[in-house]
Copies of this chain bind each other. A is one copy, B any other.
């Protein structure tokens, strides 16, 4: 189970934490809002509170288990932190999220900051696009 992953972080192993981490692992390719997580857990008959979902996701972020992103518009989205950094492409029409890594961009960012004598802590890069996937409602605009 996920007990170990959670225990390793120093957090207590509780039912909500196990369920949330489980869900994120099963959907490691997705980017979910706290409400998404909450509703999915409710659907599978888990008795959990929305506040707990927010709390746990924030804690998981703190210990490096999940990453939080602020895309344009409302809610924050969360995803399991599967190690190597990546940035995002978001479709403005269907919301589909795709990931990419570009070493040229990464390197360039570092040198821009270095030139100024600053130190880069992190960055957020999101490309807002119109995608071309067959189920996207952008056909015929």
Min CB distance, A97 to chain B, in Å? 12
Is A135 an interface residue when CB atoms closer than 8 A count as contact? no
CB distance from A105 to the nearest CB of B (A): 5
A118 to B89: give the CA distance in the assembly, Å: 10
Task: State how many copies of this chain the complex holds.
Answer: 2
Number of residues in A with C-beta < 8 Å to the partner? 31
B112:A102 contact, CB within 8 angstroms: yes
B119 near A128 (CB under 8 angstroms)? no
Closest chain-B Cβ to A77's Cβ sits at a distance in Å of 13
Residues of A participating in the B interface, judged by any CB pair closer than 8 Å: 70, 72, 89, 91-92, 98, 100, 102, 104-105, 108-109, 112-113, 116-132
Nearest 3 interchain pairs by C-beta: A118-B129, A117-B132, A125-B125
